[in-house]
Amino acid sequence: MFVRLVYESFRRQKRRKLLAGVAITLGVAVATAMIAVATDIGDKINRELRSYGANLLVTPQEDSLDVEIGGVNLKPPSDGAYLSEADLPKIRGTFWHHNIVGFSPMLPANAKLADGKDVTVLGTYFSKLLRFGKDDFQTGVRITHPWWKVQGEWPVDASEQVLIGERLAAKLNKKPGDGLEIAGRALTVSGIVSTGSAEDDEVVAPIAVAQQILGKPDAVRRVYVSALTKPEDALARRDPKTMNQEMFDRWYCSPYVQSIAFQLQEAISHSHAEQIRQVAQNEGTVLSRIKGLMLLITLAALFASALAVSAAMATAIFERRREVGLMKALGAGNAAVAAVFFAEATLLALFGGVIGFAGGAFLARLIGRSIFAAQISIQPVLFPVILALAVLVTFAGSAAAIRRAVRFDPVFALRGDA
Amino acid sequence: MSSRPSQLAPEITQVAAKRAQAPHQSMFLRMLLRAAVLRRGRAASALLAMVVAAAVATAMMNLYVDVQAKLRSEFRNYGANIVIAGKDGASLPANALATVESALGEKSVAVPFAYVVARTADGQSVVVAGTDFSRVQKLNRWWSVSQWPSGTGQALVGARAATAISHSNKPFSISFQGKTIQVTPAGTLSTGAAEDSRVYLDMADFVAWTGIQPSTIEVAASGKAEEVDAALKRLGEAIPEAEVRPVRQIVEGEARVLNKTRATLLAAAVLIVLTAALCVLATLIGWVFDRRRDFAIMKALGASEKLVNGFFAAEAAALGVAGALIGYLIGIGVAAWIGRVNFHAPVVPRLSVLPWVIAGSVLVALISAVVPIGLLRRVQPAMILRGE
C-alpha cells in the first residue's frame, strides 16, 4: 500500500512533481558547478598569475654585487661568478618539479657590432628541449616571460638565429630575416622582440652564442624560475634552520616559494635562490583573495539553492492538505502520512540530485573550457556528498510543511477551509 | 454586470455604472489584500522564494561591479605600471614630478628615482639610488624592509649590498666623482631582484651629494586598462622630453588575471541568478495553479477575463516588488559581508542595481502568473469548482 501510494502520487501528479524536481535539479546543478569551480579556481588562477613571470631567481652564491640601472648591466663581464648550465636539468629532479612551470637561464655578454658600437647580447633558452632522466621537457622565455612579443619568428635554440630588441632594431634599421654581425659572427635576425624593458635595447640570442662570445662555455649568470606556489603563511616565513625535524618535513613538502627556493639551492651547486618578492608576495594575496571570493560566493549559492529547494518543497506539500485529510480520515497515523511524504521527497531528491550532478559537471566543464581553456576536474567524492546534501535540504524544506499538514484537522482539510 | 437592462432611464444607468465602479475598485484591492492575509502560509513561501532570488541577484550584481575595483587595487600592490625615463639616461626636468602628479589623479602614486654608480672605500662598484622613502613605501609594498630611514645621512641598504659593504650595520663611506659621504645604514632591504645590490638614499641627500636630478619616475596609475592607457597618453604629452612606457609585465599580467576572474564571476552570477529565477518560477507556478478555485469562483461570479488576468497580474507584480525590495536589502548585506570577509573593505551598495532587480523580479512573477492562467482559461469554471 505504501509503495503504491508513493507510486501513484508520482504517476498522477506529474506536474507538481516536475516543478519540485526541476527546482531540486537546478539547485543541485548550480551547487555542483560552483563547488567544482571553487575547488579548482586556485590552481587555474595560479597558472594565470604565472603570466607575471618568474617568481624565483637563482644566482651564483659567491657573486659580486650587481651593477645594474634600469635593467642595463654595467658590471664588467669578467666580474663575478657563474652557474653551470649542465646543472639546470636537475631543477626537474627537485621534490616540487611538477610545480615548476618553466625556467630560463640568462647570460648577458658585451660585444661589438660590425660598426664598432657596443651591444649587449643576452643569451637564454627560447623553448629548449631538455632531458632529465627519462623525462623530456621544454622550457625557456616563451614560458617564463609570456609578455615578450615577437614580430617575426622565434629563433631555434641550437642555431645562429637571434631576436633583436625593438628600439635597437629601429636604431640599426633591421627587420626579420636580415643578417647581423656581432663580434665577428654572422647571425640572422629571426624576429623583433618587444618587452617594455631593457631587452628592447639588446640582442637576445641562444645561450650558446652568448657563451662563445664570452668565451665561457657552460656559464649562466642567473636563472629565472616560474613555479606554482602556495600562499605564504606563518610556517612558510620561519627559518628552516630553527625548525625541528617534523616541522621541517612539513615545510619542505609544502610548495611555499621559500621551500622551492631551498630545493633549487640543493639542486644547483653553489647557487643562491631567492623569491622575487614583487611577483611572489603579491600573487599570494591575489590568489587568496580570488579563492576566498569564490568560496564565499559558493557558500551563498549553496544557501540560496537550499532555500529555493525548500520553498519549492514547502509549496508542493502545502497544496496537498486534502490528501492528508483523506488519509487521516481513513485512519492513517501521523507517522504513516509523514513517511509517505518523506519517501516522496527522498525519491525526488535522488532523481534531482543525479540529474543535477550531471548537469553541474557539464556546466563546470563548460566554464573551465571557455574561460581557462583547461579541464575543471570534478572529484568523484563530490557525488555522494552532493546527493546527501540534496536529500538533506529537501528533507529540511519539507519537514516544516509536513508537520503543519499532519497537524491540520482532517475535517477542515476535506471541507477545503485551508 | 455585462447585461445591464437597457430600458432604464439614462440617469439610473449612470448611477448604476458609478456604483458598479466604486466598490469594484475597492473590491480589487480588498481581494489582493485578503488573499495575502488569509493565505499567509502560501504567500509567505512564494515571497520567500522571491526574496532569496532577488537577494542573490543583488549580491552577485553588486559583487560583479565592485570586485573588479577591489581586485584592481590588489593588483596595484605589484607596483608601478608606468615608467617615465629620461631619453638615453638623461635627467628629467626639475618640475617633472609635479607635472606627473598634476597629470594623474589623486589615487595614483609617482616615485622619483635617481641612480649613480659609486665606489666604496675598498673600491667596489655599487649602485646608489636616491628616492623618496615615504612614496616608495606606498608604491612597492613587497619591499621587505627591517627599518625605514628617518633622518638625513641615513640609508636603506640592499641585503646583498649590506653583506658586501656594511658589516654589522656600521656606517660606511661611498664616493662619486671625488665627493665622499658618510652613510649610516638605517635598515636592510630585501626584494630578491636588482634592489638587493643597491644603496638607497633620501633624494635631498642624494642631490646634495651628486648634483644629479632624478632620471626615472615610476608610476602606479590606478583604474581600468583604458584609464591607464589614457594616463600614459597624458603623461607623454605632459613631458615630451621623456620616454613614457607601460610596464608590460604588470599591465598584461593584470589584464589576464582580471579577465579570467571577471569571466568566472560572470558565469557564476548568471548561473546562480538563472537558477534562482527558475526556482521562483517553479514555486510561483505551483502557487498560482493551486488557486484555480479562486479563479473559477471569480469567473463564475461573472468577472471578465481582463479583470481576472489583471487580478493575478497585480498580485504577481506586488509579490515581485515586495520580494525585490526585501531581497535587495538582504543582498546588499550579503555583498557587504563577502567584501568585509574577503577584501577587508565592504562592497559599496549600488542603487543602480535596484531597478534591474525589481524589473527582473516582476518579470519572473508575471511569467509565473501568465503560464498557469493560460492553461486554466481553457477549462470551464464548473469543472474546477467540482474539483475535477
Tell me the residue range of the domain where A75 lies. 55-275
Domain stop point among B246, B276, B294: B246
Domain stop point among B198, B221, B246: B246
pLDDT of residue B6: 47
Q: Of the given ranges (A11-25, B16-30, B191-205), which has the lowest mean pLDDT?
A: B16-30
Domain stop point among A214, A248, A275: A275
B151 or A82: which leads in pLDDT: A82
A271 or B224: which leads in pLDDT: A271
Kindly state whether A14 is in contact with chain B, defined as any CB-CB distance less than 8 angstroms: no
B57 and B122 share one domain: no
Whether B66 is covered by a domain: the verdict is yes
Whether A10 is covered by a domain: the verdict is yes
A306 and A350 share one domain: yes
Do the chains contact at B279 and A311, CB–CB below 8 Å? yes
DSSP conformational letter for A372: I
Q: Of the given ranges (A24-33, A381-390, B274-283, B321-330), which has the lowest mean pLDDT?
A: B274-283
B116 or B67: which leads in pLDDT: B116
Interface test with A, best of B83, B279, B287, B376 (most A CBs within 10 A): B279
Q: Of the given ranges (A363-372, B99-108, B289-298), which has the lowest mean pLDDT?
A: B289-298
With beta carbons less than 8 A apart as the criterion, state whether B239 and B84 touch.
yes
DSSP conformational letter for A369: I
Number of domains in chain B: 2
With beta carbons less than 8 A apart as the criterion, state whether A183 and A211 touch.
no
Distance from CA of A161 to the nearest CA of B (A): 25
**Count of CB pairs separated by less than 8 Å, A with B:** 239
3-state secondary structure of B98: helix
pLDDT of residue B1: 40
Rounded distance, CA A50 to CA A46, Å?
7
Kindly state whether A367 is in contact with chain B, defined as any CB-CB distance less than 8 angstroms: yes
B59 and B103 share one domain: no
Q: What is the torsion angle, in degrees rounded to the nearest 10, for the CA atoms of residue B155, residue B160, residue B162 and residue B168?
A: 150
Tell me the residue range of the domain where B119 lies. 81-246
Q: Does residue B148 carry a pLDDT above 60?
A: yes
Whether A281 is covered by a domain: the verdict is no
Binning pLDDT at 50, 70 and 90, where does residue B387 land? low
Domain stop point among B182, B212, B246: B246
Find where cell 569564490 sits.
A294
With beta carbons less than 8 A apart as the criterion, state whether B265 and B64 touch.
yes
Largest CA distance in chain A: 108
Whether B4 is covered by a domain: the verdict is no
Whether A261 is covered by a domain: the verdict is yes
| Grid cell digits, residue B383 | 469543472
Span B149-160, mean pLDDT? 87
Which portions of chain A are predicted below pLDDT 70?
71, 76-79, 416-418
B128 and B52 share one domain: no
pLDDT of residue B5: 47
Whether B2 is covered by a domain: the verdict is no
For B21, half-sphere exposure in the C-beta direction (CA atoms, 13 angstrom radius) is: 6
pLDDT of residue A122: 92
Do the chains contact at A305 and B279, CB–CB below 8 Å? yes
